Amino acid sequence: MTIAGLDPVIHAPVRLQICAILSATDEAEFALVREETGVSESVLSKQVKLLEEAGYVRVRKATLASRQRTWLALTAAGRDAFAAHMRALTRLAAAAANGVAA
Amino acid sequence: MADELDPAEALALAKGARDRVAARAGTPAWYAPLYGLCCGGLVAGAGMKQPLGLAIIGVSLAAVLLLYRTWQQQSGLSVSGYRKGRTRTIALALAALLVMLALGGFELSTRFGILWAPYACGAAAALTGALASLAWDRAWLAELAGDVE
């Protein structure tokens, strides 16, 4: 955690979107997250790896309908960190709107 | 994409990502009626003569699993019916109602000899299950469309 409670691991645009998508579900398929973030497979893999190393995302490979699929999920720590990050963003955005320095 | 976002931009980006998932997250039109049928089978099977009843319960359970897997495969999403929020209330209320209907059908047929009771309870469960599935979907989509937390 850094200044004003923002988490630098989450704050990068692609990682923020990954966490937002995963926060809505138990698991989401890698392909869906790639489509919705609009980045290439390699870029997404790199960003997911960073979240995984921080303990925020869990990666699971499973075969469904004879096709290997990769599923991503937020860990409990990831959910807590994302919720805290969103609270900090909301607080900062409100402060900025009111012209108050955070 | 810029590496640094101001707080309002970051909130909008997160909300946009959630909204895009919400747009593809709902179940197709056939899901709720089929889910209702599975609920009806589970409840009716409990009060029917055995081993037919057990076979119907087994088929209904397998059908629920297949139904969920099909949706999961199509949507690329996985979500627990008992996830936190209003969805959990709906899922728990449905589970309680199904147990009551199953017990009611069983008791009425075995104790009082009302042999059509399991079918009536099964029909009520089918309707309730389909409506609960629709309500669950609506509650989840409303959560997705709400503030990101």
Distance in angstroms (rounded) separating the CA atoms of residues A87 and A93 = 10
Asked if A28 has any chain B CB less than 8 Å from its own CB, the reply is yes
pLDDT score, position B132: 97
Q: Which residues of A touch B65 (CB under 8 A)?
A: none
What pLDDT, on the 0 to 100 scale, is given for residue B149? 58
Reply yes or no on whether the pLDDT at A6 is more than 90: no
Mutation to test the B interface, candidates A7, A15, A30, A36, most B Cβ within 10 Å: A36
For the stretch B28-71, pLDDT in tens is 999 999 999 999 999 999 998 889 999 999 999 999 999 999 99
Q: What is the per-residue pLDDT across B123-140, written as a single tens digit (0 to 9) for each?
A: 999 999 999 999 999 999
B13 shares contact with chain A (CB less than 8 Å): yes
Q: What is the CA radius of gyration of chain B?
A: 20
CB contact under 8 A, B78 and A28: yes
In chain A, the residue whose alpha carbon lies closest to the alpha carbon of B85 is A24
**Within 10 Å of residue B77's Cβ, how many Cβ atoms?**
19
The pLDDT, as a whole number, for residue B93 is 97
Least confident of A63-72, B120-129, B136-145: A63-72
Mean pLDDT for all residues in chain B = 91
pLDDT band at A98 (very low <50, low <70, confident <90, very high): confident
Pick from B7, B17, B77: which is nearest to A20 by CB? B17
Dihedral sign of CA atoms B26, B30, B36, B42 in order: negative
Per residue in A20-45, pLDDT (tens digit) is: 999 989 999 999 999 999 999 999 99
pLDDT score, position B39? 97
What average pLDDT does range B20-29 have in this prediction? 87
Of residues A20, A65, A71, nearest to B78 (C-beta): A71
Per-residue pLDDT band for A102 (boundaries 50, 70, 90) equals very low
3-state secondary structure of A39: coil
- The DSSP-derived string for B52-101 is HHHHHHHHHHHHHHHHHHHHHHHHSEE--TT-SSHHHHHHHHHHHHHHHH
Of A65, A87, A96, the CB nearest to B8: A96
Token pair listed for B53: 């009843």
Comparing B145 with B87, which gets the higher pLDDT? B87
Q: Is the pLDDT of residue B17 over 50?
A: yes
Distance CA A59, CA A75 (A): 10
